[in-house]
Amino acid sequence: MSDKKSKIGVLGAGTMGAGIAQVAAQAGYATLLYDVSQEFIDRGLSRVKDFLKGSRERGKITAEQETAVLGRFSSSLKLEDFAGCELIVEAVPEKIELKREVFQKLDALTGPETLLATNTSSFSVTAIAGATKKPERVLGLHYFNPPPLMALVEVVQGERTSAETIERAAALMRAMGKTPVRAKDTPGFIVNRIARPFYNEALRILGDGDASVEAIDKAMKSAGFRMGPFELMDLIGNDVNFAATESLYHSFFEDPRFRPSPIQHRLVQSGNLGRKTGRGFYDYGKK
């Protein structure tokens, strides 16, 4: 799987999908980016171009490297074009039925040698793989935001994921410069489960009126964290973060440790999702 002649497919050109595609292209792989509309693809590629431009201006990459990375991209509105990919990473919205539908289609369109990975942060890999006839090649590859900068990738083994699939995927992640950590298919995997108290307790402190958003974030950064919990929720997206908390809460049979916050729920309902909408716990201004 470390053969740079391999083609990598990414399904979904949103923040995570575009970032995952950039990781593959920067590592030297021909990369196919798919979405349901050209507008979404163009928006995703624009994010990649802006990121690479910033890297070039900061002296992280050369103009030649920037051009080479962009030259490895292709895009499509047709799932059939994923045929021949070594790996396809799904990064569609966190809706279980949508993911199962996507995997059912990919299963029928690709050969058994193609690895099918979901970037889900909150759903069971086993449940997603259940929509396919070859669940042994389905796994989770949980990247973190932003994918080009975050080294960690959780490599998640479903109930019927083969050992060979996990080995191939982990090798590919290393070839892309990532640090693969193997995880079982349990709610929240490793990182999201550990992170819930970080977010939820901050929201409880805020709800109790004991400290402001700014004070909590400042305290955590002074303690050594790179970002405070509210800054991080805004970066991730309050909709994504809330969905992950809600999923863990239900997966653990309403364990109060994972109870979602009404404060964050109201933000999601009002469309104040964080940086991507210009407002969340902080006001970032409309672009």
Catalytic residue annotation: 121, 142, 154, 192
What are the tokens at 269? 């309902």
